Chain A
Amino acid sequence: MIRRALLTPVLLVTLLAVVLSACAGPAQPAQAPAAEQAAQPAATAVPADVLAAQPWRQTDAYSPLPERASLVLVKGGQENASLMPEGESIEDNRALQYIEDTLNVDVTFAWVVPSDSYSDKLNLSIASGDIPDVMTVDAIQMQQLTEAGAIEDLTPYVEKYANADILANWEQTGGVALQAATIDGKIMGIPNVQPQADAPIMVWVRQDWLDKLGLAAPETVDDVEAIAKAFIEQDPDGNGAADTIGLTGTTNPVQVPSNLHGFDAIFNAYGAFPELFYRNADGEIVYGSIQPETKEALTRLAAMYQAGIIDPEFATKDGDKANEIVVGGRGGIMMGPWWISWWPLADSVNNDPNADWQPFMIKDKNGNYTFGMGDYTYSFVVVKKGYPHPEIALKILNVQNDLSYGLNDAPQYYPNFNEIWTLLFPIPFLIEQPYVVERMATEYQEALDGTRDPEAFSEAMKLEYGQIQSDIAAPRSDSSNWATRMARLDAAKLLAGGYDEVRTDPVASRVFSTDPTWPALQKLEEETFLQIITGAKSIDDFDAFVEEWNNSGGAALLEKMNQ
């Protein structure tokens, strides 16, 4: 569900222009000339006349390999296999076929496993020396593979073979994405780009309950608390029972990004950015969880818990249990990112068509919107040392990105592409625009206002635009139309309105994620925060926590980061 919300084809016209401009460069002399390819028709998949008619196929980013090469891959993600079109599979589908033909490679999969066991299975493959030619890894694995000299240095290939789109998307991260993939001055992996909209946590409130009790929309933490109190005490669902929960929560009060039922927005409103290593006003990297602002926010949360505003049992609930509250009509407030209208709120609307959930953002004490943001990048595509064509990884990613946008002469458009793209593509990995969600919201609004032509939208955007229009015509008559409208238009528009970011430092992640002291520090923090909020520990214990955090290796970590 989450993936589906994140993967977003963007406007065809704009990108086509970008791609065409990228294709304007001269063909590389190193590429096999069309005549030579025509001489050995069995070896090349793209006929000479097609190559001649479509000059982009001969640019660095898309040129077919001179000789048919084999490429061994691995894949995590087979969950939605039943949604594949009749007769297509992970090993054999039209999108894969198109990529193989365009680039002149034969893709085989050494193994395919469910996505949650991918990392373990890959570690096993790596440990047994059975490394695939190209694979998706996390920062720790990339570091380990680099130390072992098991992967290619991609520095000479990245700038040359990435297409203009991908380069632009990296550029929009301010260079952070490529920096994250750089070890000792060498680019060891191709970094992804995570849409940034997932980090800010909004407050979703049932407007129908607000109206019934005559309450105004929330703007501050105080408002949220007052609304929660009213929902608990004034029986907004009118069932005569005092069974309404104020604020829902889970075992993760803080987690960046996409924290469903998280208290992140309340921390952010106090100027606290827990779990982030960010640069303070002096340019020094500090840890958010041990700052005095975090203590203030915890004090407030503990008071809210004490007053019964927060679900008394939140500290032992997982996401599913907390979802049951809002879906079952027992809660009217849910904290979460922009896309939660798809899940779980759509189920709430299914159960009760009156459930008019609306997203709001909370102001901090200075009256601004400020959110803690995580990394732009968390996974990397790397190439096995000694694979003869390291550039093929970039070329495949180029074609995949184009296909996801509906560009090129992509053979067929899959109507349920968002649900099955990880199955279709040989490398389930996209390099997206960091602010794509906000941009689409603006474009949908412009189309509604009549200043943009919806006919020029990509197929995927047309579909969503249709859903938005249907829900505007008949609100909440179809929960899936409603969910798309709320996420894509109402919530994303709030984000497009602008907010300040406090961003985790790209250097920090690599330092702490491979440090042996980190798990113990994290455990200490998780435990302390929950105990303070629930009153098992007093807020004065926060200072002892800070001291212990520093002494157990935290201070040393910060020193390492600031070097």
Chain B
Amino acid sequence: MFRDTDRLAYYVMILPGLVLLIAFTFVPLVYSVIAFQKFNPALGIQGSPWVGLDNILYMFSLRDARQVFTNTVFIATMKMIFVLITAVAFALLLNEVRFLRIRRSIQTMVYLPHFLSWVILAGILRTILARDGMMNDFLGIFGIGPVYFLGQPNIFPWVIIFSDVWKEFGFEAIVYLAALTAIDPTLYEVAELDGANRFQKMRFISIPGIAPVIVLVACLSIGNVLNAGFDQIFNLYSPIVYSTGDIIDTYVYRIGLIQGQYSLGTAVGLFKTVVALLLIGVSYWAAGRWANYRIF
């Protein structure tokens, strides 16, 4: 049914990814039915007794479930906002740098952390943020601290948010830098003839130029509001910051895999999936509405 062989080649290329997606995302979704069972591995899915909505209702009665839900939304939203602001600001500033060589090397340096795993970065962060670490030494100069960054519930989420911003903003800035190069250079030339200074050019040409991309990225990221970053938090948290740092994914991991409450763990995970599905719908609609973005 393919109109040309080129197309066939694309479909073949997409195939491995598609197989993995089906195997690890869609097939497990079918097994989510254990959220409605008192699951017993020895009895399997067919044999385990059905308990209706018991697990779901129990989940909603848990103080923990509400807590991890709010934590997740707070941490994820803050991450999105700050990554976006930082990335846009960085892209605009970098765009003003004249020397291509310097621009390239700065860009490479800031997006490097994106490629490091949180397991490694968490180890580095723990050292930097320790009582006798670099950060507290620095704050000590101003007579602040020592601050217990990873052990104080009111500070911990901000450590998570800002370390994620540091890791990701450089990579996200690539999109905006690309958008900036797409702006017609004659606009800048005309503005210069009219006597506009750098800030005015930025204010009236660069920002409006990349605004559609900013809106698009913001809209699409709504679908990620329940992904607060398992790897990062898992490697940095401890029981003392559960109240503000425990998120849905770490909670499901502990309840389901460590403590063997498969059904409850799955119920929480399923809840996340359902809400995420709604959010993705919203984000797709929003992206179409404000950024004229369509897939189909």
A313 touches B254 (CB 8 A): no
Contact A316 B238 (CB under 8 A): yes
Cβ of A312 and Cβ of B148 under 8 Å apart?
yes
Q: Is A530 an interface residue (CB 8 A)?
A: yes
The verdict on B43 contacting chain A, using a C-beta distance below 8 Å, is yes
Closest to A146 in B: B42
A126 at the interface (CB under 8 A from B): yes
Query: What 0/1 pattern do residues 412 to 423 of A give for CB contact below 8 A with B?
Result: 000000000000
Interface string of B42-85 (1 = CB under 8 A from A): 11100100000001001000111000000000000000000000
Q: Which residue of B lies closest to A251 (CB)?
A: B238
Complex contact A313–B40 (CB within 8 A): no
> A312 to B261, Cβ gap below 8 A?
no
Interface residue B106 (Cβ < 8 Å from any Cβ of A): no
Q: A147-B42, A520-B64 are in contact. Are A534 and B47 (CB under 8 A)?
A: no
- Determine the distance from Cα of A147 to Cα of B42 in the docked complex, in whole angstroms: 8
B41, B58, B131 — most chain A CB neighbours (10 Å): B41
Please judge, given known A-B contacts A144-B41, A313-B130, A316-B238, whether A520 and B62 are in contact too, CB under 8 Å: yes
Distance (Å) between the CB of B245 and the closest chain A CB? 10
Inter-chain contacts of A522 with B (CB < 8 A) = 259
Contacts of B279 in A (CB 8 A): none
Chain B residues positioned under 8 Å from A516 (CB to CB): 55, 58, 261, 263-264
B43 to A148, Cβ gap below 8 A? yes
Bound state CA distance, A129 and B43, in angstroms?
Answer: 8
Q: Which of B42, B148, B254 touches A144 (beta carbons < 8 Å)?
A: B42
The answer to whether B255 touches A313, judged by C-beta atoms less than 8 angstroms apart, is no
Rounded to whole Å, the gap between the CB of B86 and the closest CB of chain A is: 27
- Min CB distance A530 to B, Å, is 4
- Indicate if the CB atoms of B43 and A147 lie closer than 8 Å: yes
Least CB separation from A551: chain B residue? B63
User: Within 8 Å CB of B261, what residues of A?
Assistant: 516, 519
A140 & B260 in contact (Cβ 8 Å cutoff): yes
Contact (Cβ within 8 A) A536 B240: yes
* Inter-subunit contact A148/B40 (CB<8 Å): yes
Q: Could you tell me the distance between the alpha carbons of A99 and B147 in the complex, rounded to whole angstroms?
A: 60
User: Does B151 sit at the interface, judged by CB under 8 A?
Assistant: yes
Q: Contact: B150 with A316, CB < 8 Å?
A: yes
Decide yes or no whether B293 CB sits under 8 A from chain A: no
Interface pair B240/A530, CB less than 8 Å apart: yes
A116-150 interface code vs B (CB 8 A; 1 in, 0 out)? 00001001101111000000000011001101101
Interface residues of A in 144-161 (CB under 8 A from B): 144-145, 147-148, 150
Tell me whether B158 is interfacial, beta carbon within 8 Å.
no
A312→B131 contact, CB < 8 A: yes
Q: Contact flags (1/0) for A388-415 with B, using CB distance below 8 Å?
A: 0000000000000000000000000000
Q: Which of A140, A519, A552 is within 8 Å of B63, CB to CB?
A: A552
Interface positions, chain A 84-129, Cβ under 8 Å from B, are 120, 123-124, 126-129
- Residues in chain B near residue A145, CB distance under 8 A: 42
Verify B242–A127 contact, CB threshold 8 A.
Answer: no
Collect the chain B residues with CB atoms within 8 Å of residue A527's CB. 239-240, 242-243
Q: Determine how close the nearest CB of chain A comes to the CB of B195; give it in whole angstroms.
A: 57
- Distance to closest chain A CB from B46 (angstroms): 10
Nearest-neighbor residue (CB-CB) of B236 within chain A: A316
On chain A, the residues within 8 Å of B40 by CB distance are 144, 147-148
State the Cβ distance, A501 to closest chain B Cβ, in Å: 27
The reply to whether A315 and B238 contact each other, CB–CB distance below 8 Å, is yes
B259 partner residues in chain A, CB cutoff 8 A: 518-519, 522
Q: How far is the CB of B238 from chain A (nearest CB, A)?
A: 5
Chain B, Cβ-Cβ closest to A150? B42
A126→B239 contact, CB < 8 A:
no
Q: Are A313 and B41 in contact (CB under 8 A)?
A: no
Q: In the assembled complex, which residues on chain A have CB atoms less than 8 Å from the CB atom of B153? A: 531, 536
Interface string of A517-530 (1 = CB under 8 A from B): 01110111011001
Residues of B118-160 whose CB lies within 8 A of A: 130-131, 146, 148, 150-153
A518 to B153, CA, bound (A): 23
A315 & B151 in contact (Cβ 8 Å cutoff): yes
Interface hits, B255-279 → A, CB 8 Å = 255, 257, 259-261, 263-264
Q: How far is the CB of A133 from chain B (nearest CB, A)?
A: 15
Q: In the assembly, what is the distance between CA of A216 and CA of B221, in Å?
A: 63
Tell which of A140, A141, A150, A315 touches B240, judged by Cβ atoms closer than 8 Å: A315
A residues contacting the other copy or chain, number (CB 8 A): 34
Instruction: Give which listed residue, A147, A150, A523, A531, contacts B64 with CB less than 8 A.
Output: A523
> Using an 8 Å CB-CB cutoff, how does the interface string of B230-251 with A read, 1 for contact, 0 for none?
0000000011111100000000
Q: Would you call A531 and B240 a contact (CB within 8 A)?
A: yes
**CB–CB A313/B151 < 8 A:** yes
Q: Smallest Cβ distance from B49 to chain A, in angstroms?
A: 9
Complexed CA–CA distance, A522 and B254 (Å)? 11
Q: How far is the CB of A255 from chain B (nearest CB, A)?
A: 12
Closest chain A residue, CB of each to CB of B242: A527
Q: Given A123-B41, A516-B264, A519-B259, decide whether A530 and B239 contact each other with a Cβ distance below 8 A.
A: yes
Considering the chains assembled together, what is the distance between the CA atoms of A111 and B99 in angstroms? 60
Q: B131 touching A313 by the CB < 8 A rule?
A: yes
- Evaluate whether A526 and B239 lie within 8 angstroms (CB atoms) in the complex, with A148-B47, A315-B151 already known: yes
CA distance A298 to B148 in the complex (A): 21
Q: B242: which A residues are within 8 A, CB to CB?
A: 523, 526-527
- Chain A residues with CB under 8 Å of B243's CB are 527, 531
A140 partner residues in chain B, CB cutoff 8 A = 260
Of all chain A residues, which has the CB nearest B153?
A: A536
In the assembled complex, which residues on chain B have CB atoms less than 8 Å from the CB atom of A123?
A: 41
| Alpha-carbon gap, A251 to B44, bound state (A) | 36
Closest to B264 in A: A516
How many whole Å from B48's CB to the nearest CB in chain A? 9
Cα(A249)–Cα(B40), bound, Å: 37
Complex: chain A residue closest to B237, CB-CB: A316
In this complex, what residue of A is CB-closest to B262?
A123
When the two chains form their complex, are residues B151 and A316 in contact, meaning their CB atoms are under 8 A apart?
yes
Instruction: Pick the residue among B58, B130, B152, B257 that contacts A536 (CB under 8 A).
Output: B152
How distant is the Cα of A315 from the Cα of B241 in the complex, in angstroms?
9
Residues 305-352 (chain A) with a chain B CB within 8 angstroms: 312-313, 315-316
A476 to chain B minimum Cβ distance, whole angstroms, is: 30
The interface bits of chain B over 186-210 (1 if a CB of A lies within 8 angstroms of the residue's CB, else 0) are 0000000000000000000000000
Bound state CA distance, A520 and B242, in angstroms?
12
**CA–CA, A527 and B71, complex, Å:** 15
A417 to chain B, nearest CB (A): 32
Closest Cβ neighbor of A552 among chain B residues: B63
Determine the residue in chain B with the shortest Cβ distance to A312. Answer: B131
Closest to B42 in A: A148
Cα–Cα, bound, A516→B55 (Å): 9
CA A128 to CA B242, docked complex, whole Å: 35
Residues of B within 8 A of A141 (CB): 41-42
Which chain A residues lie closer than 8 Å to B260 at the CB level? 140
By a beta-carbon cutoff of 8 Å, the part of chain A in contact with chain B is 120, 123-124, 126-129, 140-141, 144-145, 147-148, 150, 251, 312-313, 315-316, 516, 518-520, 522-524, 526-527, 530-531, 534, 536, 548, 552
| A123-B41, A523-B254, A552-B62 given; 16 more Cβ-contact pairs under 8 Å | A120-B257, A124-B41, A129-B44, A141-B42, A144-B41, A144-B42, A148-B42, A150-B42, A315-B238, A315-B239, A316-B241, A516-B264, A520-B63, A526-B239, A534-B240, A536-B240
Nearest 4 CB-CB pairs, A to B?
Answer: A148-B42, A526-B239, A530-B240, A127-B41
